[in-house]
Structure 1
Amino acid sequence: MTATEIAATGLPYFDAAAVRAAAPWTTAVAALERALLDGVDPEEDSPRLFSPAPGGEFLIMPAAGRAYSGVKALTVAPGNPARGLEKIQGVYVLVDSDTLAPLAVMDGTELTAIRTPATTLLAVTHILAAAPGGAGVPDSAPAAPHVLVFGAGVQAFNHVRAAHALLPGSSFAVVGRRSERARELVATLAAEGIAVREGSVAEVPHSDVILCTTSSRTPLFDGALVAPHAVVAAVGQHGLDAREVDATLVRRSDVVVEGRASALREAGDLIPARSAEEWQEVRPANLRDLVRGGFERTPGRPALYCGVGMAWEDLVTAALVYEGGTKQ
């Protein structure tokens, strides 16, 4: 749709249902992977901007691309869940990179709810396929992994949905801070045909994939308990004062980050375990390295993926939604 056509018909708006319909899990993961293979470099991503707001903060995430650019504008209101409202709300504005003319507006909350699990599962599937010493599936990779999910909010729901699509045959258990929320998640997903049961921290040593999708400010479990072959993804928090995993796990793991620069800015899971200077020397693989085969597992070490959320992921997903929606 051209700028002239948009002016004549009004700016298209993609609500939450339209965003979901245009970006099924396998399609969203494939789009992120293709973007990284086609030249997207996470290290060139724009830093996100935080600004105080009444009762919370504004979060602005701009991203530039060859065909499309855009900005996600969110509000973060920590007190909202107690009032029965969403903690994070917002919109995404997609623009044409050549003219900078607005092309579409879409539900930014739903966009986030999709791109975060899609990015996590992109990382997890590639890590599972990374053998010691080279590409391919290692002998220790389970054919039907047991997935343990910490959290019972929107991101926990959608991480289970994404994992169910990307890791067929998996078994799922969820650990919630409040048992009633975990039971609600189990019932909702059961109605969608996804079998999940309520689990516990005691399952950590027996889990192949552990997904941390919480707002916890302190580590969720003892990192020494994680199995040597396991893959852990910590994606629920951002900020240097927040962490879902402990320094023990970080130090004993092969680490993958979304982007090295963004991790140094916001990955509180990593910085306490090693200083910024040490991480610069370690130079962990980022997502681009991972999908291009530049990551190898070390025998006897778990792998940890640490994500804080990046603007290029929003842009890729928004472009997918726009192109899918305007072709219908």
Structure 2
Amino acid sequence: MRVVSAEEVAHTLKWDGLIKRLHTTFVNGVESPPRHHHAMHRPDGEATMLLMPAWEAAGYIGVKMVNVFPQNADYGIPAISGLYLLSEGKYGQPLACIDGSELTRRRTAAASALAAQALANENAETLLVVGTGKLAPMVIEAHASVRPIKRVLIWGRNPGKATAIADEYADRFETSVVEELAEAVAEADIISCVTLSTEPLIKGEWLTSGTHLDLIGAFRPQMRETDAECLHRADVFVDTYAGAKGEAGDILQAIDEGVFRFEDIKAELAEVLSGEKTGRASEDTITLFKSVGASLEDLAAAIEVWEALPA
């Protein structure tokens, strides 16, 4: 069995290839039971263990284990860590143990870019990234691979981290750190939220026509990055119905507040990509994509890594 490092994952997962692989996997589908979600009570705070299995009908088999420790931010350590075990499908023999953190970062950003490719206006040039964790650079790169991004705005609770990201990408884009989130939201064509917030950061009254809102940070019912007005004003799409119903706090809390219904969701991503349902209705439509992550994305990314590795 081969051990694949984070560096090898980063080298092999090119945005174009990964996004195409995800597109194919969403359309063709895989077997993916609901992920196991276990709360862990640690001495310094709450943590979460996720187990995410998936397999092709006659092909690869995989499972990811992820530990989420939000309190790691206090120690300068990434909040998310894990590994992916990929097996071949004929005999069930393990092929590779792949660094799960880098795999997760890149597949998450690529899935959002895939959704933006279908839902954001084609001339979207200004990207606002809300959050400064390890996922923030990935969404910049992924969205820029599918839309003509020229300007990147960065907001975060830690101005130093926001400045570091802005500096890192200053040679590729016009970058700036923003303090007033409401003003930045009004200027953005695409807003990508990559936080573990439990309180709304984006308010619906700030959104302007044509904006695409990408919510990929909060992944538990208690978490949310938007208020209910965002969902009320937008055409809402999700990565999967099952994930949205079980874990999408932005949606579930808006439903509890009586502002949104689950039936108001326009489509899950596979339906849009296959042409079964319509994506963006017009240039002026506000679109919202809520993702909590799906095991089919991890399997697709792991296969992409395995098949791109040198022999």
- Tell me, yes or no, whether TM beats 0.5: yes
Q: Is the 8 A contact 2:118 2:279 kept in 1?
A: no
Alignment of 1:226-305 (within 5 A): 226-274=207-255, 279-293=261-275, 294-299=277-282, 300-305=284-289
Of 117-126 and 19-28, deviating more is 19-28
Q: Structure 1: which 5+ runs fail to align?
A: 1-10, 129-140
Question: Structure 1 residue 276: deviation in Å?
Answer: 11
Question: How far does the alpha carbon of each residue in 1:115-168 deviate from its partner, in whole angstroms, 9 at most, with x for none?
Answer: 00000000011112xxxxxxxxxxxx3625211110111111111111222223
Matched, 1:317 2:301: yes
Distance 1:270 1:51 in 2: 21
Partner of 1:21: 11
Question: Structure 1 residue 280: deviation in Å?
Answer: 4.6
Distance 1:273 1:57 in 2: 23
Following TM superposition, the consecutive aligned residue runs of length 4 or more in structure 1 with deviations greater than 6 angstroms are none
- Aligned partner letter, 2:266: P
Question: Structure 1 residue 53: deviation in Å?
Answer: 4.1
Matched, 1:172 2:172: no
Q: Aligned to 1:40, which of 11, 17, 29?
A: 29
Q: Is the 8 A contact 2:236 2:265 kept in 1?
A: no
- Would the alpha carbon gap of residues 285 and 58 (structure 1) be closer, same or farther in structure 2, given more than 3 Å must change? same
- Aligned partner letter, 2:38: S
Question: Structure 1 residue 111: deviation in Å?
Answer: 0.3
CA-based RMSD = 2.1
Q: Is the 8 A contact 1:142 1:208 kept in 2?
A: no
Matched, 1:90 2:76: no
Partner of 1:163: 143
Matched, 1:196 2:196: no
Question: Structure 1 residue 36: deviation in Å?
Answer: 2.2
Normalised by the size of structure 2, how large is the TM-score?
0.90
Matched, 1:122 2:114: yes
Q: Work out which of the two has the higher radius of gyration on C-alpha atoms and give 1 or 2.
A: 1
User: Percent identity of the aligned residues?
Assistant: 29
Distance 1:142 1:127 in 2: 9
Partner of 1:30: 20
Partner of 1:50: 37
Q: Is the 8 A contact 1:237 1:308 kept in 2?
A: yes
Partner SS state of residue 142, structure 2: helix
Distance 1:231 1:14 in 2: 35
- Aligned partner letter, 2:143: A
Q: Is the 8 A contact 1:172 1:195 kept in 2?
A: yes
Distance 1:142 1:30 in 2: 18
